[in-house]
Structure 1
Amino acid sequence: MTETVLRFLRSACPIAPRLSPYAEPVQEWLTGQLDRLGLPPDAVARERLARAGFARYASRLHPDADEPDLRVLTALFTWFFLVDDICDGPGQPDPARIRALRDGALTLLRQGSRARHPGLTGPLRRLLVEAWREPRRRMPARWRLRFADAVAHHLDGAWREAVARTAGRPPGVDEYVKLRRATSAAYVSYPLIEFATGRPLPDAVHHHPALRRLADLGNDLLSWFNDIASLDRDRATAGGHNLVLAVAAERGVPVATAVDLVAARWRTEMGRFLALRAAVPSFGPALDESVTAHLDGVANAVRGTVDWTLESARYPAGSGG
């Protein structure tokens, strides 16, 4: 039932799909990198990770990146998916481990690869060291600070969710929507648009209310689509941390009805996303191309998540097409 809803939403999505021509060679490169680093530690898990197709995800979000940059982006995406598996895997979550991982990642991002923290060690640390090298070298200090702050926000959200799950406290809808914006890592991916395009935004533009509204809406759209896709898994493991489950509990309706309600909300917010994007003001001839590239990147994040979710072996709906 959820797969039918997901495919209907994809057909209703007005954002055009895009895919980098380097998707397949970068996926082959990633497989070799993971083997070299020993990530994950067993061969079966590495094969499962390869079938997830993280390079195709990066290729859908950043279709115009050149091949070397797409490798960097794919490595970063892979790092965050591996962290997501730690934070949101089966079994009881470990808030202390998530907090230590957060502190370790921020130590590296803010202080450089020579700084060490016990929360981030081994192959997972080496992957982030290698993936972060080029953005750290190329991007301005203000961008690096924004990226690290986004990572902190994301991992703080993962920690808050783990604490709530451990306490057996499912969230209400409004609480969940705000928390999901952190746990989705979309705010981490948005600065990478500036890396991929080579167009870092000034802080005043990045934080402009029009761009922040679009960022929130884009985050909601990709997160809610993912929630429908991961519903069966989340019913067993997430302690109510899924928009469909939160709607079902708050409104007292069957889960199947909640799926339809979330899908309807997704379509409404997609219409609002398009209207707000069209209403973004001009920032002047020196900045408008950069702003347009950023807005295109946010839209690609939404559509790319839709398409990748339906093709990736990471989700039950994934079928390779």
Structure 2
Amino acid sequence: MVDRTLRALASACPLPARRPAPMVDEVQDWLAALLTESGLPLDGPARHRLHQARFAGYAARLYPHADEADLRVLTALFTWFFLVDDACDGPQALSPERISALREGTLYLLRYGPRPAHPGLTGPLRRLLLRAWREPRHRMPDRWRTRFADAVAEHLDGTWRERMNRATGRRPGVDEYVVLRRATSAAYVSYPLIEFVTGRPLPDAVYHHPALRRVGEVGNDLLSWYNDLASLERDRATSGGHNLVLAVAAERGVPVDAAVELVAERWRAAMARFVTLRATVPSFGPALDEAVTTHLDGVADAVRGTIDWTLESARYG
């Protein structure tokens, strides 16, 4: 039933699909070598799962204009976040204290550079992030690096809050979960990377303008809720209720299958709102409007790219 719902929502999505870049396979192979170089303790099956997940394909769908060098950076960053997500989930998940330390170590590296090393971020995860962060750190201005680090802080704080909930057996209601999910999804981390690829960071006053923030928030909901549908079976076993379908089922007192339909209806309504909000963003003047349009297109690509990658990736299969 869930697979049918995912495909129906994809078919009804009004956002255009982007063709993946032709160098995706080469970048995916490069990633495998990078993971070995970073010393990640992956056995054969784990490497196969990572390859089948096709993180390079995900990055390429979100940033269809990235050249091969930038696609490598994006793929490495995406892989780092997925590895952290895996480490913070499931029966062998990191403790809340360890996640908090990881957050502090990650933010230290992003904000202050690689020296001295912070004890919260060590080993292969540190080496992978060092490699992925090298180019953005050197290329992008201070305000962009701060913006990116702030988004990572929010994401890892959300990851910590979810882990605390699971540790204490606390299941959030729908409204609380929606807010938390906006942090744990890492969509807000992906938005600054639009500017990395285009080389045109927006002024803070424009990037944080309420009209752009509303578009970004609804875009986050769309890709997060679609992901919750895709990961439902896994989340029923491991998430402690941290899935929109499960939260709706518990709050409404309905079976999970009925909650799937309610979430699909909620997703369709959010998509209609996204289209309206995107069309009503005001002009910021001829010097900025093209960059704003590029940003809005990038948010739409994050939504549509998540849909298409979810259907082609083996991560949730």
TM-score class, shorter-chain normalisation, is over 0.9
1:133-212, aligned counterparts within 5 Å?
133-212=134-213
Report the counterpart of residue 223 of structure 2 in structure 1. Answer: 222
Contact 1:20 1:62 in 2 (8 A): no
Q: Which digits, 9 at most, give the CA deviation of each residue in 1:239-294, with x for residues without a partner? A: 10000000000000110000000001101110110010000111111111111111
Q: Which amino acid aligns with 1:14?
A: P
Deviation at 1:113, TM superposition (A): 1.2
Deviation at 1:34, TM superposition (A): 1.2
Q: Which amino acid aligns with 1:190?
A: Y
Q: Which amino acid aligns with 1:253?
A: V
Deviation at 1:154, TM superposition (A): 0.3
Deviation at 1:42, TM superposition (A): 2.5
Q: Which digits, 9 at most, give the CA deviation of each residue in 1:63-104, with x for residues without a partner? A: 001110111011111110000001123345511111011011
Which stretch shifts more, 66-75 or 13-22? 13-22
C-alpha separation in 2, matches of 1:91 and 1:113: 28
1:306-321, aligned counterparts within 5 Å?
306-316=307-317
Contact 1:22 1:59 in 2 (8 A): no
Report the counterpart of residue 7 of structure 2 in structure 1. Answer: 7
Deviation at 1:35, TM superposition (A): 2.1
C-alpha separation in 2, matches of 1:22 and 1:303: 20
Which stretch shifts more, 241-250 or 26-35? 26-35
Contact 2:87 2:93 in 1 (8 A): no
Q: Which digits, 9 at most, give the CA deviation of each residue in 1:139-193, with x for residues without a partner? A: 1100100111110100000000000111001000000000000000000110001
Q: Which digits, 9 at most, give the CA deviation of each residue in 1:29-71, with x for residues without a partner? A: 1111112223243232122111110000000000001110111
Give the RMSD, CA atoms, in angstroms.
1.0
C-alpha separation in 1, matches of 2:43 and 2:235: 25
Report the counterpart of residue 319 of structure 1 in structure 2. Answer: none
1:1-321, aligned counterparts within 5 Å?
1-18=1-18, 19-91=20-92, 93-316=94-317
Cα distance, 1:92–1:124 mapped onto 2, change above 3 Å: closer
Cα distance, 1:198–1:42 mapped onto 2, change above 3 Å: same
Q: Which amino acid aligns with 2:187?
A: A
Deviation at 1:22, TM superposition (A): 2.1
Q: Which amino acid aligns with 1:75?
A: A
C-alpha separation in 2, matches of 1:23 and 1:104: 31
C-alpha separation in 2, matches of 1:299 and 1:80: 21
Contact 2:249 2:259 in 1 (8 A): yes
Cα distance, 1:262–1:67 mapped onto 2, change above 3 Å: same
What secondary structure, in the 3-state scheme, does the structure 1 residue paired with 2:25 have? helix
TM-score by length of 1: 0.97
Q: Which amino acid aligns with 1:74?
A: T
What secondary structure, in the 3-state scheme, does the structure 2 residue paired with 1:241 have? coil
Q: Which amino acid aligns with 2:234?
A: R
Contact 1:91 1:237 in 2 (8 A): no
C-alpha separation in 1, matches of 2:216 and 2:41: 32
Cα distance, 1:40–1:20 mapped onto 2, change above 3 Å: farther
Which stretch shifts more, 38-47 or 255-264? 38-47
Deviation at 1:118, TM superposition (A): 1.2
C-alpha separation in 2, matches of 1:44 and 1:37: 18
Contact 1:107 1:115 in 2 (8 A): no
What secondary structure, in the 3-state scheme, does the structure 1 residue paired with 2:15 have? coil
Identity %: 72
Structure 1, gaps ≥5 residues long: 317-321
Q: Which amino acid aligns with 2:258?
A: T
C-alpha separation in 2, matches of 1:93 and 1:163: 11
TM-score by length of 2: 0.98
Structure 2, gaps ≥5 residues long: none
Q: Which digits, 9 at most, give the CA deviation of each residue in 1:215-250, with x for residues without a partner? A: 100000000000000001111110100000000000
